[in-house]
Amino acid sequence: MQNRVLHTPLIGSRIVVTGGAGFLGRAVLHALAARGLPPPFVPRRCDYDLTTEEGVIKLFADARPDIVIHLAAEVGGIGANQTNPGRYFYANMAMSLHLIEQARQTGLRKFVHTGTICSYPKFTPVPFHEDDLWNGYPEETNAPYGIAKKAAMVMLDGYRRQYGLASAYLLPVNLYGPWDNFDLQSSHVIPALIRKCIEAQEHDVDSIECWGTGSASREFLFVDDAAEGIIRAAERIDDPAPINLGTGSEITIRELVERVADACEFRGEIRWDATKPDGQPRRCVDAGRAEKLLDWKAEVALSDGLRRTVAWYRTTRHARTRTGH
């Protein structure tokens, strides 16, 4: 696959954003609004079950989209991945399968799909380059989710070559920011750490516990930066060769915990449970393709992003608890 750079005008297009009410979806809607576009159609799970053919057919009939930006996913951190491997494979594969097929049947102008860094092989050379995506099996706890997402890329490539369906495929690294999932049972590392630190302060607890040894490294991208990359792909790309979205900078989980604790002003002890898995040893991407094809680079530094995320969580957490969000 080789990306072709176009400029698809989004003005006047009927756009569907699956997962538009979620964490990344909110940022994508904001980025679309910043371009002067009207609100896109955002399907809600109670009205459209996107894991079923019937639900997807109903969505396309009601929204009549020109462009679909597919963000909806069932996903969580290491613990959630260990608990739900079958569900995560099925739900993510089924959504992509039905949405892409319906896009073909209705003559959709473009399909934009968000993949996952979990699709990369467990021991990918760092920094991860898109050409290494198939050079091994993903880290075991993430494999069902990662492979389901990667299979969608193969489907888009086949549909591009056989049916002419234009598409783009993005691989964002771990995202964080306001409106993230802070549920300790299913959240990723940054929101989980923020919640642990703040709740420890509120309950006068002098320590928090973290999974693993802290030796694994990760790369983190502020959600607004990811949203901008996704919209630029919708505007410029029509072929689903994978495009990494990241900062190109990695940090160990141990150092990350220290940075989050500092942003939360938590001064207690950090205890490590080495019986829990670390996950993939290292993650850091080469984002050169995104810079070249999308004219995109991450703008929000980790220190600033953490500060903004902690401030948002402190301000909103009690209000969201009272309203059930």
pLDDT of residue 320: 58
Q: Any bridge partners for residue 167, and if so which?
A: 111
Q: Answer yes or no: are the C-beta atoms of 214 and 257 closer than 8 Å.
A: yes
- The pair of structure tokens assigned to 199 is 């709740």
The chain-wide mean pLDDT, for the chain, equals 93
The number of CA neighbours under 13 Å toward the Cβ of 253 is 26
Q: Which two tokens stand for residue 233?
A: 């792909």
Decide if 48 contacts 61 (C-beta within 8 A): no
Task: Please state, for a pLDDT cut of 90, what percent of the chain lies above it.
Answer: 86
pLDDT score of 80? 82
pLDDT digits (tens, 9 = 90+) for 71-114: 999 987 778 888 999 999 999 999 999 999 999 999 999 999 99
For residue 265, the model assigns a pLDDT of: 96
**Mean per-residue pLDDT, 192-209:** 96
Q: Given its phi and psi angles, is residue 291 left (phi above 0), alpha (psi -120 to 50 degrees) or beta?
A: alpha
Mean pLDDT of 274-291: 92
Report pLDDT for 279. 82
Cβ atoms of 11 and 67 closer than 8 Å: no
Name the helix (H) or strand (E) containing 97: helix 85-106
pLDDT at 319: 64
pLDDT at 8: 59
Distance CA 226, CA 168 (A): 14
Partners of 110 in the β-ladder: 67
How far, in Å, CA of 262 to CA of 230, rounded?
A: 31
Neighbours of 18 (CB within 10 A): 25
Active-site positions read: 145
Q: How far apart are CA 209 and CA 197, in angstroms?
A: 10
DSSP state for residue 47 in the 8-state scheme: T
Nearest to 85 by CA among 131, 143, 165: 143
More confident residue, 322 or 125: 125
Cβ atoms 271, 205 nearer than 8 A: no
- The predicted model gives 291-303 an average pLDDT of 97
Token couple for 131: 């050409």
Mean pLDDT of 279-284: 87
Cα separation, 311 vs 319, whole angstroms: 14
Asked whether the CA dihedral 227, 77, 195, 261 is positive or negative, the reply is negative
Are the CB atoms for 309 and 178 separated by under 8 Å?
yes
- With 60 as the cut, is the pLDDT of residue 323 above it? no
Neighbouring residues of 301: CB distance < 8 A, sequence distance ≥ 6? none
* pLDDT for 39 beyond 80: yes
Residue 280's Cβ-side half-sphere holds a number of Cα atoms within 13 Å equal to: 29
Count the neighbouring beta carbons within 10 Å of the beta carbon of residue 74. Answer: 18
- pLDDT category at 7 given cuts 50, 70, 90 is low
Which CATH code, of 2.10.240.10, 3.30.465.10, 3.40.50.720, 3.40.50.2300, is assigned to 15-177+220-250+282-299? 3.40.50.720
Cα–Cα distance for residue pair 309/291, rounded to 1 Å? 25
Quickly count: other Cβ atoms within 10 Å of residue 176's Cβ: 24
Q: Where are the domains of the chain?
A: 15-177+220-250+282-299
CA atoms within a 13 Å half-sphere pointing along the CA-CB vector of 281: 7
Residue found under tokens 């993510």: 92
Pair of tokens at residue 60: 């396309």
Angle subtended at Cα 128 by Cα 126 and Cα 133, rounded to the nearest 5 degrees:
130
Q: Which helix (H) or strand (E) holds 200?
A: helix 189-202
Q: How far is CA 107 from the centre of its chain?
A: 26
**Which of 71, 64, 11 minimizes the C-alpha distance to 41?**
64
- Which pTM does this prediction carry? 0.91
